[in-house]
Chain A
Amino acid sequence: MKQMSEAGVLRKVIGASSLGTMIEWYDFYIFGMLAKTISTEFFPEGNSTAALLSTLAIFAAGFIVRPFGALFFGRLGDLLGRKSTFLLTLVLMGGSTFLIGLVPGYQTIGIAAPLIVLLLRLLQGLALGGEYGGAATYVAEHAPPGKRGFYTSWIQTTATLGLFLALGVIMVVKMNMSDQRFNAEWGGWRYPFWFSIILVVVSVYIRLKMEESPLFARLKSEGKVAKNPLRESFRKKANFKMVLLALFGAAMGQGVIWYTGQFYAQSFLETKVALNFEQSRSILLWAILLATPFFIVFGWLSDRIGRKWIMLAGMLLGILTYRPIFNTLLNDAGTDQWKTELSNSKVQKESKLLANTSDSLIHTITHIEVANGAKYIKEQTDTLKVATGTISEGKPLIKDKVLPRPVYWKFVGLVFLLIFYVTMVYGPIAAFLVELFPVHIRYTSMSLPYHIGNGVFGGLVPFIGVLLQTTFTTDPLVGLWYPIGIAALSFAIGLIYLSNKIDKDVTD
């Protein structure tokens, strides 16, 4: 009977922690996914102050505030307790998200709009920095020895499930209204933000009923709580060297694999492959759905064979196969190969004369339906030179591609592989980080490398991608060298310096 109730408590602990963490990820992602609409609404082009605030909202939240949140809430969690701290981060995150959905646009309240949105976005970053370490520590400190990887792997599913939920909610709202209604000042783009409050209220209610982590409660009753967790984490060599090892030997590589497998893949399908909105999102949704169980599988496996080799294998697979996988995504959706089948295709052309000066622009939109089921739109703007009567052809722009079914499922398989690597590096990492640090400074010590690895190293994938693309213009896959290089460095450090030993006792 006692055993049953313990199992029940553990289920509640995992459920309450995972639900809240998933909601925090959902809240954080919807802002990024709706960045284009938010930018039009709050940060209009041509206003330099708004442009600066927009840059800060996008970059400062992930790069600076997230690690700062890890330190701030990590310290609180080691001083006051895990439960109250990660309850606070949830309220802060949910409240900020809901309020973003209520801020009137720039056209209504002027510069106050981007200022308020920036402030709320920074609060989101701060809250996210504090949530994960608390949830992972809380679950790990409840888990019995030998099952820590398995139990914390449920927390590890939440970042991907949060992404899944954010993609799903935005897709459902967008598919049920016109683009005009979705992008209006009080349009559909605000619904995902409002929806968050329902999720947060439910999650806060559940978390309020939870007890403090037994290890922290014991520490507190014995008067052994750290007096200054920041000083102990980063001033004591024995702890600080493990913080550095966790960052460079694991979290850094895990961060870029995570980001490339999910965000970069999505952006690549939309911008480089030029798939239409529905297919690019649904490919990712299918891949996430199929890959998510492997977080649990690898968490469970890490309890048996150790954390190190699973994480390093995930990094190595990414290093070796990223370029072939992304190359296949690019080539298999290339329109050149469909030219042979164009004889059976439907082609619909619309041409417009755009300007009537000395030279005229002819804008042509061609809707092409290939016999194999593929569709795409080709846009081209040619210049009619009045003086010579000749036409100077513009560069065609291919967009809104719809893949034939077999290619679509092949793409689902390839993106599944990318997320499968994510499950390998990410599934065991919570248990790995928890075991690296002593109980009295665990929240602080594990949060910082995690958020630098994911927020900074992972978050830089698109920026460095553009940087490399601008320098080396001929290779469309050149942006991948950043995640490959960082993963390789982390792999080398992890291989040489990490131990595969599982620390059975996390009570010390």
Chain B
Amino acid sequence: MNSIRKILGVVWLLLGPVVIYFLIAGAIHNVDPNGKKDINNPVIWVIIITIFLPIAIGLMIFGWYALKGEYSRNTSDR
């Protein structure tokens, strides 16, 4: 189980940049000064990307810790 925990660390590590990419691509695709929906509003995208950037970095750090075995446990710890 500990090796699965470590290997999956790579997935979480890569997921961070993927999230950032999709957010920026989503913003570029949907921001429209003439649009009336929330998804057309650039201010909302700025807020969301600002708050998600550290979260995505957090996910990468989580992946890094997992990869380094920080979350590995003894078999007695269920």
Contact = CB atoms under 8 A, between A and B. Distances in A.
Contacts, number: 70
A185 B44 CA distance: 28
Contact of B77 (A247, A463, A496, A499): A499
B55 interface: yes
A340 to B, nearest CB: 37
**B interface, size bucket:** 20 to 34
A52, A248, A500 pick with most chain B CB within 10 angstroms: A248
B43 A244 contact: no
A499 B78 contact: yes
Contacts of A240: 61
Contact of B8 (A64, A470, A496): A496
Contacts of A247: 55, 58
B24 to A, nearest CB: 14
Contacts of A237: 65, 70
Nearest to B65: A241
A452 interface: yes
Contact of A241 (B4, B26, B71): B71
A245 B47 CA distance: 24
A497 B5 contact: yes
17 contacts: A56-B43, A59-B43, A64-B47, A64-B50, A248-B59, A456-B52, A456-B55, A466-B37, A467-B26, A467-B30, A496-B1, A496-B4, A497-B5, A499-B73, A499-B77, A499-B78, A501-B77
Contact of B43 (A52, A67, A470, A493): A52
B39 interface: yes
Contacts of A501: 77-78
Interface in A225-248: 237, 240-241, 244-245, 247-248
A460 interface: yes
A361 to B, nearest CB: 22
A59 B48 CA distance: 9
Interface in A468-491: 470
A55 interface: yes
Contacts of B58: 244, 247-248
Contacts of B66: 497
Given A467-B30, A501-B77, A55 B43 contact: yes
A467 B70 CA distance: 36
Given A244-B59, A245-B62, A470-B30, 8 more contacts: A59-B43, A241-B62, A245-B71, A248-B59, A467-B39, A496-B4, A496-B5, A497-B71
A60 interface: yes
Contact of A500 (B8, B30, B48, B78): B78
Interface of A: 52, 55-56, 59-60, 63-64, 67, 237, 240-241, 244-245, 247-248, 452, 456, 460, 463, 466-467, 470, 493, 496-497, 499-501
Contact of A470 (B1, B39, B61, B70): B39
B47 A63 contact: yes
Contacts of A470: 30, 37, 39
A482 to B, nearest CB: 12
Interface of B: 1, 4-5, 8, 12, 26, 30, 37-39, 41, 43-44, 47-48, 50-52, 55, 58-59, 61-62, 65-66, 70-71, 73, 77-78
Nearest to A252: B55
A72 B78 CA distance: 34
B50 to A, nearest CB: 7
A319 B62 CA distance: 23
Nearest to A493: B12
Contact of A452 (B30, B47, B55): B55
Contacts of B26: 467
B30 to A, nearest CB: 7
B25 to A, nearest CB: 11
A501 B52 CA distance: 31
Contacts of B77: 499, 501
Given A456-B55, A501-B77, A466 B38 contact: yes
A409 B30 CA distance: 40
Interface centre among A52, A59, A63 (most CB of B within 10 A): A59
Contact of B65 (A60, A244, A460): A244
A463 B47 contact: no
Contacts of A452: 55
A460 B48 contact: yes
A463 B47 CA distance: 12
A60 B47 CA distance: 7
B39 A466 contact: yes
A497 to B, nearest CB: 5
A19 to B, nearest CB: 31
B48 A63 contact: yes
Contacts of B5: 496-497
